[in-house]
């Protein structure tokens, strides 16, 4: 039964549902058809949303839009099973829920099936048949719904490179002989690193949105936290590294409301601590303590520790943070971590030394590089500071971020 709501509401809801449900639906369908038929799963999911666009615009929203989508997806899957168009060994090895074509009539896309499908899918696409970077790209596109542009931004590369990488990776998945079977413990443990990297990049895209006007995309951050939490619930994937990553995500998420208010960006030093979500801080503490139960030290341990000291009121916190960044760059060097280190360096050794270290990085196409240099130059060289703030504005796609940078620029101009 359809509601009497008008179609514009559906127009607003559909993009949200596409972001939150398309990847879940694709994963669930892939569990039915096999990873070799990933294109088929994506086609059915796309056709489902296309049908929603057509029907909802005419009849309004259904009472339960999400349930409606999965009923349509199930019916389309049944049509494919009945069509006899597909002869594939995978159909002879269907999951325990569906052992033959007729059983799909009783099958339902339950919440537990969808969740299990996502968790299995994220490990399935992290097959060693593809390079580590290609695995992460597949996870971001298939499981997290990233666009090619968003993936390119996450990897600091161009769209054409990502398109080619995704095409080759999908071809490899299609051509390898993979039936439908439960992943064993060895596969779960050996593929975990790339899964954690994908979750990390997903959260970063939400927390430092580079492709929309929203500075923070909470739905992406929530999805990353949900996937990380899933991993802590599995005895094989509940590792110190997994807990360290979840601790980092909790600490960062605790400052959502303090970081952006009324469309404005609030810098860390200007945030009201009362706006931090204490429950998430406490969860971060819990997962960080759990992560430190072994002697393993990963980049997630170090980044979570940096996030912990950021919210500390200890007098020597910037010394601690700088030391942690020094360790982080040894464990796993990245230009972004090196750039973040220069801010901590400015707090400990002054802006002049931080400027020297930052300019050595030459990250001229990175908006954070220019905004940081604008901040560092502001007390001593207003012309330089204004140049960098203007470059940061030109490179930003977030209206909220641009507005904040424009404030600094206007202040320097007097």
Which of the residue ranges 34-48, 200-214, 273-287 would you say has the lowest mean pLDDT? Answer: 200-214
Q: For residues 263 and 298, state if they share a domain.
A: yes
Which range in 3-12, 217-226, 391-400 is most confidently predicted, on average pLDDT? 391-400
Q: For residues 137 and 203, state if they share a domain.
A: yes
Is residue 102 in some structural domain?
yes
| Residue 303 vs residue 142, higher pLDDT | 303
pLDDT at 91: 47
End-to-end CA distance of the chain: 61
Any idea of the CA torsion for 268, 271, 273, 279, to the nearest 10 degrees?
-70
Per-residue pLDDT band for 381 (boundaries 50, 70, 90) equals very high
3-class state of residue 260 by DSSP: strand
Which range in 88-102, 138-152, 173-187, 374-388 is most confidently predicted, on average pLDDT? 374-388
Mean pLDDT of all residues in 120-143: 83
Per-residue pLDDT band for 103 (boundaries 50, 70, 90) equals low
Q: For residues 48 and 140, state if they share a domain.
A: no
State pLDDT tens for residues 206-219.
Answer: 777 655 555 567 77
pLDDT at residue 59 greater than cutoff 90: no
Distance between CA atoms of residues 366 and 339, nearest Å: 10
Is residue 195 in some structural domain?
yes
Helices marked H in 208-277 — which ranges? 218-232, 240-253, 256-259
Is residue 2 in some structural domain?
yes
Q: For residues 182 and 263, state if they share a domain.
A: no
Q: For residues 119 and 145, state if they share a domain.
A: yes
Distance between CA atoms of residues 178 and 167, nearest Å: 18
Is residue 324 in some structural domain?
no
3-class state of residue 261 by DSSP: strand
Q: How many domains does the chain have?
A: 3
Is residue 224 in some structural domain?
no
Per-residue pLDDT band for 89 (boundaries 50, 70, 90) equals very low
Q: For residues 83 and 148, state if they share a domain.
A: no
Per-residue pLDDT band for 306 (boundaries 50, 70, 90) equals very high
Which range in 61-70, 102-111, 261-270, 318-327 is most confidently predicted, on average pLDDT? 318-327
Domain around 251: 239-311
Mean pLDDT of all residues in 267-287: 86
- Of 311, 331, 350, the one marking the end of a domain is 311
- Of 92, 109, 126, the one marking the end of a domain is 109
> CB-based contacts of 50: which residues, under 8 Å, 6+ apart?
none
Distance between CA atoms of residues 132 and 220, nearest Å: 22
pLDDT at 2: 44
Q: For residues 140 and 194, state if they share a domain.
A: yes
| Under 8 Å between Cβ of 211 and 153 | yes
Is residue 388 in some structural domain?
no
Alpha-carbon distances, residue 348 vs 277, 341, 376 (angstroms): 28, 11, 13
Which of the residue ranges 88-92, 115-119, 135-139, 153-157 would you say has the lowest mean pLDDT? Answer: 88-92
- Of 61, 78, 109, the one marking the end of a domain is 109
| Under 8 Å between Cβ of 119 and 166 | no
Q: For residues 30 and 41, state if they share a domain.
A: yes
- Token look-up 């597909």 returns 86
> CB-based contacts of 240: which residues, under 8 Å, 6+ apart?
290, 291, 292, 293, 294, 296, 298, 301
Question: Counting beta carbons within 10 angstroms of the beta carbon of residue 46, is it exposed (0 to 12), middle (13 to 18) or buried (19 or more)?
Answer: middle
Q: For residues 250 and 205, state if they share a domain.
A: no
State pLDDT tens for residues 385-397.
Answer: 999 999 999 998 7
Is residue 144 in some structural domain?
yes
pTM: 0.77
Q: For residues 129 and 186, state if they share a domain.
A: yes
Question: Counting beta carbons within 10 angstroms of the beta carbon of residue 349, is it exposed (0 to 12), middle (13 to 18) or buried (19 or more)?
Answer: middle
> CB-based contacts of 331: which residues, under 8 Å, 6+ apart?
297, 298, 299, 302
pLDDT at residue 109 greater than cutoff 50: yes
Q: For residues 121 and 103, state if they share a domain.
A: no
Is residue 357 in some structural domain?
no
DSSP single-letter state for residue 265? E
Which of the residue ranges 90-99, 291-300, 305-314 would you say has the lowest mean pLDDT? Answer: 90-99
Closest by CA to 202, choosing from 150, 128, 148, 133, is 150
Which of the residue ranges 56-60, 250-254, 318-322, 331-335 would you say has the lowest mean pLDDT? Answer: 56-60
For residue 56, the cross-strand partners are none
Distance between CA atoms of residues 402 and 408, nearest Å: 10
| Under 8 Å between Cβ of 369 and 363 | yes
The CATH number assigned to the domain holding 127 equals 1.10.10
State pLDDT tens for residues 158-192.
Answer: 999 999 999 999 888 877 644 444 667 777 788 89
């Amino acid at each position: 039964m359809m509601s009497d709501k008008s179609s514009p509401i559906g127009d607003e809801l559909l993009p949200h549902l596409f972001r939150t449900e398309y990847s879940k639906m694709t994963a669930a369908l892939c569990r039915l058809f096999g990873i070799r038929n990933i294109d088929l799963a994506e086609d059915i999911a796309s056709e489902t949303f296309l049908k929603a666009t057509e029907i909802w615009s005419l009849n309004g929203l259904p009472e339960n839009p999400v349930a409606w989508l999965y009923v349509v997806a199930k019916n389309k899957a049944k049509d494919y099973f009945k069509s006899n168009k597909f002869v594939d060994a995978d159909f002879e090895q269907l999951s325990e829920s569906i052992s033959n074509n007729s059983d799909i009539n009783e099958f339902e896309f339950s919440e537990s099936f969808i969740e299990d499908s996502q968790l299995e899918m994220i490990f399935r696409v992290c097959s060693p048949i593809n390079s580590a970077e290609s695995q992460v790209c597949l996870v971001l596109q298939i499981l997290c719904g990233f666009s090619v542009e968003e993936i390119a931004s996450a990897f600091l590369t161009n769209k054409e490179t990502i398109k080619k990488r995704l095409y080759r990776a999908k071809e490899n998945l299609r051509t390898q002989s993979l039936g439908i079977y439960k992943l064993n413990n060895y596969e779960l443990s050996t593929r975990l690193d790339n899964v954690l990297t994908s979750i990390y990049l997903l959260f970063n895209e939400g927390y430092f949105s580079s492709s929309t006007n929203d500075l923070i995309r909470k739905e992406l951050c929530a999805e990353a936290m949900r996937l990380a939490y899933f991993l802590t619930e599995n005895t094989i994937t509940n590792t110190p590294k997994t807990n360290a990553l979840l601790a980092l995500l909790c600490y960062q998420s605790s400052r959502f409301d303090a970081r952006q208010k009324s469309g404005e960006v609030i810098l860390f030093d200007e945030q009201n601590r009362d706006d931090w979500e204490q429950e998430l801080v406490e969860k971060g503490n819990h997962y960080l303590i759990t992560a430190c139960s072994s002697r393993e030290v990963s980049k997630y341990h170090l980044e979570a520790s940096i996030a912990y000291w950021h919210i500390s009121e200890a007098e020597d916190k910037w010394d601690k943070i700088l030391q942690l960044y020094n360790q982080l760059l040894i464990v796993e060097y990245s230009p972004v971590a090196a750039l973040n280190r220069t801010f901590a360096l400015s707090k400990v050794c002054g802006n002049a030394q931080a400027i020297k270290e930052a300019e050595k990085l030459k990250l001229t196409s990175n908006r954070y590089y220019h905004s940081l240099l604008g901040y560092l130059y502001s007390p001593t060289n207003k012309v330089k500071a204004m140049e960098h703030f203007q470059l940061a504005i030109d490179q930003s796609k977030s209206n909220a971020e641009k507005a904040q940078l424009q404030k600094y620029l206007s202040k320097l101009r007097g």
